[in-house]
Structure 1
Amino acid sequence: MVSVIKFALYGTLVEVQELHVSAASLERQQIFTKVTSSSLGSDRLGQAWTDQSLAGCGLRCKEKYGSRCQTFMYNSNTGLCTPGSFLKSGTFGAALAPSAAVGDLFAPFSCDTSDGFTHVISGTLAACIMASNFSLNYPEAHALCLHLGAHLFVSRSMQRFNLLPPMIKYVIGLTDIAEEGKFVWQDNGETIIESFKTSLFNSGEPNDIRGEDCVNVRVTGSNHIANDYPCDTFKHRFVCERSYIRY
């Protein structure tokens, strides 16, 4: 399991499943994750110090070096914390990879923000998304997301829908196009869990009343936010989702 942490605004620390670093002086949040490749490393920015936690190590690196702190190394056994510069790969990266004594290397785990994509956070959840300000039917939205190296937004929990702007109807990556009544997620083809389907859809939905095989949602802060609708006929705004860049 990847060791990761979260820094909230102005240096408040919260331990979660991801590491978000932000501060008053930073406009863009960064997510850090443990690098597992032995061919990746970074130049040291200065002398190492001892810190009581992974969170403290990363936060002090950012406080001390600002945007120059692009990586850091932490030994959870000794507390040794080493500030690092940009991640390097290949021969140079392998030569700079940390030893066991130095500890694990942590590097940015980032959102490709080209084409209007942005990193959004809700509680402990995060996503790299582009919420459209125009409407398309499902085939058009699906094709555009694929063209952008993404897929239509998917969510296997009600909480994750809070990543979307509220009170706007969006197309999502859930359909029963292949088999009537069997709704599957576009990202991996998994069938929606029946209990979650019950929570997700409005009362009496999905009903396929007009050959409705696609799904839209309107985030309202409660359950029962989805309806099925005809894929080709109606146009809605949509949300594309990209995977994070990992190491």
Structure 2
Amino acid sequence: MLTMSFKAAYYIKRPKQDSGPKTLLKNKNYTENCLILRPPTIQGEDTKCNSSRHSRQVIKERNKRYSTIGIWDVKCHRNEGFVIERQADVKMCLFWGLTRDFKIFSAAKADCEAKGARLGVFKGAEKMTILKRKGASAYRHIWIGLDDIKTEGTFVWHDGTILPPSEYRPLYFAENRPDNVNGADCVHYSRDLMLLDDHPCQYTYNHVCEKLIS
């Protein structure tokens, strides 16, 4: 059973009886219109919402005061090994491979896909900060979801968008990178450079998977 740390029962209002996060319920055949997530577990119980104790405003204020957990957080933590990483208003649901779990790029990509995820896409300053923070503390090289395998010189994030050369620096690539040395087509985070670098896809590195939460 998955556990999380929050101080008080978390109340979720369902707009109508046939909607809402049913997968969180112990009893799928619920009859009430509120869901309570009681500490220390995130399994829910349905309850009545027609008292002042469960009014919309009371629910909102209680949740704001006692807990930062939300449905997004719950969905992330339901995936074994995935953790929530935050920076400012940005959060990602990530799986970091074991520190001695080294894979070639294609194997790392396949491992993420087997988890229903993708290699991490770190677009933007906040997400790069998340990557750098983890890289500084635990990993020297981390495969991420960026490569120019299909077309040399055109780096594509694994969400399908292109990283234009005009945006390489200063946020993403280190100086004089990418350099395509030895046919380098795959991108990793380098702790030594503290930025991204391209290396041959057959090198074995750690990797990070990103779960998309809707």
The bucket for the TM-score relative to the shorter chain is: 0.5 to 0.7
> Are residues 50 and 108 of structure 1, via their aligned partners in 2, closer, same or farther at CA, if it must alter by over 3 Å?
closer
Shift, 1:35, TM fit: 7.8
Amino acid at match of 1:231: C
Q: Secondary structure at the match of 1:181?
A: coil
Tell me, yes or no, if structure 1 residue 157 matches structure 2 residue 124.
yes
Does 2:136 align with 1:175?
A: no
For residue 198 of structure 1, report the CA deviation from its aligned partner.
2.2
2: CA distance, partners of 1:216 / 1:178: 17
- Checking the alignment, whether the CA contact within 8 Å between 2:184 and 2:198 is kept in structure 1 is yes
2:212 match: 243
In structure 1, the residue matched to 2:63 is 58
TM score, norm. by length of structure 2: 0.67
Q: How far is 1:219 from its partner?
A: 5.7
Separation in 2, partners of 1:180, 1:204: 16
Give me the whole-angstrom Cα distance separating, in 2, the residues matched to 1:180 and 1:231: 13
For 1:115, the equivalent position in structure 2 comes to 80
**Residues 201 and 224 in structure 1, CA contact (< 8 A), matched pair in contact too:** no
Q: Which amino acid aligns with 2:84?
A: H
Partner Cα distance (2:147, 2:169) in 1? 15
Identity of aligned residues (%): 24
* 1:227 match: secondary structure: strand
Contact 2:12 2:59 in 1 (8 A): no
Unaligned runs of 5+ in 2: 21-32, 35-47
TM-score of the superposed pair, with normalisation by structure 1: 0.59
May I ask how many residue pairs the two structures share in their alignment?
172
One-letter identity of the residue aligned with 2:200: P
Give the alignment's Cα RMSD to 1 decimal.
Answer: 3.4
* Partner residue, 2:198: 228
Within a 5 Å distance, the mapping from 1:140-219 to structure 2 comes to: 140-164=107-131, 165-167=134-136, 168=139, 169-187=141-159, 189-199=160-170, 200-218=172-190
Contact 2:146–2:157 (8 Å) recurs in 1: yes
Q: Which amino acid aligns with 2:156?
A: V
CA contact (8 A) 1:161 1:219 kept: no
Higher helix share: 2
Q: Distance in 2 between matches of 1:33 and 1:210?
A: 54
1:122-137 equivalent positions in 2, closer than 5 A: 122-133=87-98, 134-137=101-104
Query: Following TM superposition, by how much is the alpha carbon of 1:211 offset from its aligned partner in structure 2, in angstroms?
Result: 0.2
- Following superposition, the deviation at residue 33 of structure 1 comes to 9.9
Q: Would the alpha carbon gap of residues 181 and 161 (structure 1) be closer, same or farther in structure 2, given more than 3 Å must change?
A: same
Change (3 A) 1:207 1:112: same
Q: How many Å separate the matches in 2 of 1:225 and 1:155?
A: 11
Q: Deviations over 1:213-238 (max 9, x none)?
A: 00011368xx9601100002x11100
Question: Deviation at 1:121?
Answer: 1.7
Post-superposition, which runs of at least 4 consecutive aligned residues in structure 1 deviate over 4 A? 32-39, 48-54
Q: Which has the higher strand share?
A: 1
Question: Which residue identity does 1:243 align to in structure 2?
Answer: L
Cα pair distance change 1:125/1:201, threshold 3 Å:
same
Paired residue secondary structure (2:167): helix
Aligned match of 1:76? none
Q: Per the alignment, do residues 37 and 224 of structure 1 end up closer, same or farther by CA in structure 2, a change over 3 Å counting?
A: farther
2:19: which partner in 1?
40
